[in-house]
C-alpha cells in the first residue's frame, strides 16, 4: 500500500497531469471519435432524450407541483439524476476501460478515475446547459435561474458520483454479483429521488426515510436554483459531501490495496 501511495505522490508531479490529459484525449477519441459526428451526437443524444421525455410529460401533466411549467420542473429533476447516474457508471468501469494502459508504471488507476471524471463531467455539464437553455428559450417558465445554486447542485452530484463510482469500481470487480444486485437496487431510485414530485409533498413518515437518499438533496438544490419561491430547507449540502467523501475514501483505500489483484483477474 505504501508503494501505491508513493506512486500517487509528488515524485510524479507534472507527469500525472500529462498522463491524465492523455487519458482524457484517449477517452474522447475512443468514445466520441469513432463515428462521423461522434462528438456532436454524444451531446445531441441525451439532449434529445431528455427533451422528448420533457415534452411528453409536459402534455401529460398540466400542473407541476411547483411553478407553472412542467418542462422545467421535470428537467430540474431528471438532469441532475442522469448527470449523477451516468458519471457514477462511467467511473465504476475505469479499471476495465483503462486496463491495457495500467500495465505501464506511469499510469495508475487513480489517473484513470480522474480522467473519466473530467471527461464525463464536462459532457454532462454541457448537456445540462443545452437542455436548460433550450427550455428557457422555448417556454415561459417564469423561473429565475441562479447559477451559483445550480453549480452547487451539479457539484454535489459530481462528488456523489465520484464516491459511489470509486467504491463500485472495486466492488464490481471483486464481487461480480454485486453489479447485478446494484442494478436491481437502482431501478426504483428514479422514482425515489423526487424527480416527479417534491420532497415537501409526501407524508412526514416517508420523509424521514427518503431524506437519507442523497439524490433528494441534489435535486432539491437544483430546484432551489430555479425557483426563487422554493427554499428546499431540507437540503443538507454537508451531508451529501460528507457521504461522498466517506464512499470515495473507502473505495480509494480498497483500490490502493487490491487493484493489482483485480487487474490480474480481469
From first to last of the 266 residues of the chain, give the pLDDT tens digit: 445 445 445 555 556 777 878 778 777 777 665 655 666 776 777 677 777 776 777 677 667 889 888 888 988 999 999 999 999 999 999 888 877 777 777 788 898 899 999 999 998 998 899 889 988 998 888 899 999 999 999 999 999 999 999 999 999 999 999 999 999 989 899 889 999 899 999 999 899 999 999 999 999 999 999 998 899 999 999 999 999 999 999 999 999 998 787 777 76
Per the listing, cell 402534455 goes with: 59
**Cα-only R_g, the chain:** 20
Confidence (pLDDT) at 135? 86
**Tell me, what's the pLDDT at 219?**
97
Round to whole Å and give the CA distance between 39 and 179: 29
Q: Taking the C-alpha atoms of 47, 29, 112 and 103 in order, what is their torsion angle to the nearest 10 degrees?
A: 150
pTM: 0.87
| Packing angle of the helix pair 109-138, 237-265 (nearest 10 deg) | 130
pLDDT value at residue 180: 93
User: What is the DSSP annotation of 79-141?
Assistant: HHHHHHHHHHHHHHTHHHHHGGGTTSTT--HHHHHHHHHHHHHHHHHHHHHHHHHHHHHHS--
What is the rounded distance in angstroms from the CA atom of residue 129 to the CA atom of residue 145? 12
Number of domains in the chain: 1
Contact 145, 226 (CB under 8 A): yes
- According to the model, what pLDDT value does residue 19 have? 80
Neighbours of 250 (CB within 10 A): 14
CA torsion sign for 211, 212, 215, 217 is positive
Rounded-to-integer distance, Cα 85 and Cα 45, Å? 16
- pLDDT computed for residue 42 by the predictor: 67
- Please give the grid coordinates belonging to residue 69: 411549467
Range of the domain at 221: 2-265
Whether residue 69 contacts residue 141, with contact meaning beta carbons closer than 8 Å, is answered with yes
| pLDDT score recorded for residue 1 | 47
Specify the 3-state DSSP secondary structure of 249: helix
202-to-56, 196, 213 alpha-carbon distances in Å: 24, 12, 14
End-to-end CA distance of the chain: 21
pLDDT value at position 5? 46
Taking the C-alpha atoms of residue 20 and residue 13, their distance in angstroms, rounded to an integer, is 12
Kindly state the cell numbers that stand for 202.
409526501
Within a 10 A sphere around the Cβ of 246, how many other Cβ atoms? 12
The residue behind cell 424521514 is: 208
Q: Give the pLDDT score at 259.
A: 79
The pLDDT of residue 261:
79
Size (the chain), residues: 266
Amino acid at each position: 500500500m505504501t508503494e501505491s501511495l508513493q506512486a500517487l505522490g509528488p515524485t510524479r508531479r507534472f507527469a500525472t497531469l500529462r498522463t491524465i490529459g492523455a487519458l482524457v484525449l484517449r477517452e474522447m477519441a475512443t468514445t466520441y471519435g469513432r463515428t462521423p459526428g461522434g462528438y456532436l451526437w454524444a451531446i445531441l443524444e441525451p439532449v434529445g432524450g431528455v427533451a422528448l421525455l420533457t415534452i411528453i410529460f409536459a402534455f401529460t401533466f398540466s400542473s407541476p407541483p411547483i411553478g407553472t411549467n412542467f418542462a422545467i420542473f421535470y428537467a430540474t429533476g431528471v438532469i441532475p439524476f442522469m448527470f449523477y447516474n451516468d458519471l457514477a457508471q462511467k467511473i465504476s468501469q475505469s479499471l476495465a476501460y483503462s486496463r491495457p494502459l495500467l500495465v505501464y508504471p506511469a499510469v495508475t488507476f487513480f489517473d484513470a478515475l480522474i480522467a473519466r471524471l473530467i471527461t464525463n463531467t464536462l459532457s454532462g455539464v454541457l448537456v445540462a446547459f443545452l437542455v436548460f437553455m433550450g427550455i428557457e428559450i422555448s417556454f415561459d417558465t417564469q423561473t429565475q435561474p441562479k447559477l451559483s445554486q445550480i453549480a452547487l447542485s451539479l457539484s454535489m452530484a459530481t462528488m456523489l458520483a465520484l464516491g459511489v463510482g470509486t467504491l463500485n469500481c472495486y466492488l464490481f470487480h471483486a464481487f461480480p454479483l454485486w453489479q447485478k444486485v446494484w442494478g436491481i437496487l437502482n431501478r426504483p431510485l428514479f422514482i425515489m429521488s423526487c424527480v416527479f414530485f417534491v420532497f415537501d409533498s409526501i407524508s412526514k413518515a416517508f420523509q424521514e426515510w427518503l431524506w437519507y437518499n442523497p439524490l433528494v438533496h441534489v435535486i432539491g438544490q437544483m430546484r432551489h436554483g430555479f425557483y426563487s419561491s422554493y427554499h428546499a430547507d431540507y437540503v443538507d449540502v454537508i451531508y451529501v459531501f460528507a457521504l461522498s467523501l466517506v464512499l470515495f475514501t473507502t473505495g480509494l483505500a480498497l483500490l490502493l490495496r487490491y487493484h493489482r489483484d483485480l487487474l490480474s483477474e480481469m
